[in-house]
């Protein structure tokens, strides 16, 4: 089945530094990938839609300059958390959908970000 690989699975960084998270579709091409954020014991909140070869579409309230998204190829999207602060600590999950109509979203394993 379709596999989405996310890396790293866990990262700890200091305040003010930047962290890059990679999301790869391993056995299919994904023109669109989605980045979600999940706080402990809460639901998933869509941050942005990553479009291959064009700018990402951000949800209301998500700072595009803080969460930089690049979708340079049909199998890779990256999320960079710039100048991270402790409040950015969260579980970030990427997902991708195969091109077949009505296929479900396949999720990466998530990245646990802790900013100290």
Residues 6+ apart with CB under 8 A from 15: 84, 85, 86, 115, 116
Residue 44 engages other proteins in binding (rule: CB under 8 A): yes
Residue 21 engages other proteins in binding (rule: CB under 8 A): no
Whichever of 14 and 60 has its CB closer to other proteins, that residue is 60
Q: How far is the CB of 49 from other proteins (least distance, A)?
A: 5
| Contact indicator for 78, 21 with CB cutoff of 8 Å | yes
Size of the site for other proteins (CB under 8 A): 24
Q: What is residue 112's three-state secondary structure? A: strand
**Residue choice 42, 99, 114, 116 for contact with other proteins (CB under 8 A):** 42
Residue 53: phi and psi, rounded to 5, are 80, 5
**Residue choice 25, 106, 113, 115 for contact with other proteins (CB under 8 A):** 106
């Amino acid at each position: 089945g379709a596999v989405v690989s996310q890396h790293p699975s866990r990262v700890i960084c200091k305040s003010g530094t930047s962290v890059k998270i990679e999301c790869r579709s391993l056995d299919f091409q994904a023109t669109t990938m989605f980045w979600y954020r999940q706080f402990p014991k809460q639901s998933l909140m869509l941050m942005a839609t990553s479009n291959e070869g064009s700018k990402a579409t951000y949800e209301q309230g998500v700072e595009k300059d803080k969460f930089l998204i690049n979708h340079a190829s049909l199998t890779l999207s990256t999320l960079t958390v710039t100048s991270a602060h402790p409040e950015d600590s969260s579980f970030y999950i990427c997902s991708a959908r195969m091109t077949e109509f009505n296929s479900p979203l396949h999720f990466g394993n998530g990245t646990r970000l802790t900013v100290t």
